[in-house]
Amino acid sequence: MSHTLDPATTTGAPTAQPRAMRVADDMAMLRAARDLTKDLAQARPAIYWPDMLGSALLGYAALAGAILVDSTLAALALGLVAALALYRALLFIHELSHIHRDALPGFRLGWNLLVGVPMLTPSFMYEGVHTLHHKRTQYGTVEDPEYLPLALMKPWSLPLFVLIAALLPVALIARFAILVPLGAILPPVRRLTWQRFSALAINPAFRRRPPEGELRPRVLWQELGGFVWSWALIGSVFAFGWHPLLVALATVSFAAVLNQLRTLVAHLWENEGEQMTVTAQFLDSVNVPPPGVVAELWAPVGLRYHALHHLMPSMPYHALPEAHRRLATELGTDSTYHGANHPGMARLVGRIARSTMRLR
């Protein structure tokens, strides 16, 4: 489901060329990333399963508490816990788009049943989409579903980019409850729904191609599951009133806005559509490494190491902290690698905001 801005109406003509994207590949860094992390590439079920299950169960329990308690303050506190826990559980969709299909038997199915379908964000909405963002020749171009030159847009586009995500839960219910059954009857609606409203993308120019291979049967059962669950949510209003659904929608909206904020600072967004080297892509991406701990809340499941992830997309999330430690130690603070490390969300948002204002 896209929640996007149109660059045709938000991009202004820059007065000066932004940070140079024609960066030569740092072969020493690329070799170090390969050689120093070979032993970390194995996904460990003993970490994935408890983390995902614990996050989901904590999220649902806290959400139930937020719905049932009488105290407004307690409801807000429980809602915050629910949003953060379910947000973490949801972001395992990122891992599903990268791990080998045989690496974690049953994990994709388990995640979809427990998280993806109940949150109306099944894995098909990211599988076959996110990997395009990692293609060497597509990153940062108009063919990248997850890239917009946000640092080159108008200043008002940044708050709009973030706040539009608050509408995502309602949009997802409409997609599965209305567009899916209409698409089963009307092929034009089905094509429109698939091309425009079936991917977690931010690029409004992106059009998704029809599913192929083993993805096709997964799409069918996940679409059906989302359809049934969306109508169960709508029907819950008649059984339990508006309060439970509104609390759930507010909780998911908060998580969606937090994810959009994370997306806003996942890259520097300074490319204007040119093809980039691997090192340029790395430097346009963001690590927010320790010692800060807050980043683990807004960029969980390894996403605080987003630049490192672009160097090694198949590296499991639990291995990224050790991979970062090894590379930072080996390459030092005067290296290209250090150039992708940033101190936190506030400074990154400030950097992008200042960039939009300088270009006016």
Average pLDDT score, the chain: 92
Q: Give the pLDDT mean for 50-56.
A: 98
Lowest-confidence segment of 10-24, 95-109, 140-154, 224-238 by average pLDDT: 10-24
* pLDDT of residue 341 exceeding 50: yes
Note the pLDDT tens digit of each residue in 265-286: 999 999 988 899 999 999 999 9
Q: Rounded to whole angstroms, how far apart are CA atoms 172 and 240?
A: 21
> Could you report the per-residue pLDDT of 156-212, keeping only the tens digit for each?
999 999 999 999 999 999 999 999 999 999 999 999 999 999 999 999 999 999 998
**Looking at the predicted structure, is the pLDDT value of residue 215 above 60?**
yes
- Measuring CA to CA, which residue among 225, 282, 264, 233 is closest to residue 352? 264
Q: How much is the pLDDT for 3?
A: 52
What pLDDT does 273 receive?
Answer: 85
Using DSSP, state whether 341 is helix, strand or coil.
strand
Query: Which pTM does this prediction carry?
Result: 0.92
Region 38-50 average pLDDT: 96
Taking the C-alpha atoms of residue 175 and residue 125, their distance in angstroms, rounded to an integer, is 12
Tens-place pLDDT, residues 57-73: 999 999 999 999 999 99
**Rounded average pLDDT over 252-277:** 94
Would you say residue 52 has pLDDT above 70? yes
What pLDDT is stored for residue 1 in this prediction?
Answer: 53
Start-to-end CA span in the chain (Å): 31
**CB count, 10 Å around CB of 251?**
26
Angstrom distances, CA of residue 301 to CA of 11, 94, 145, 296 = 32, 9, 21, 8
Tokens 């096709």 sit on residue: 216
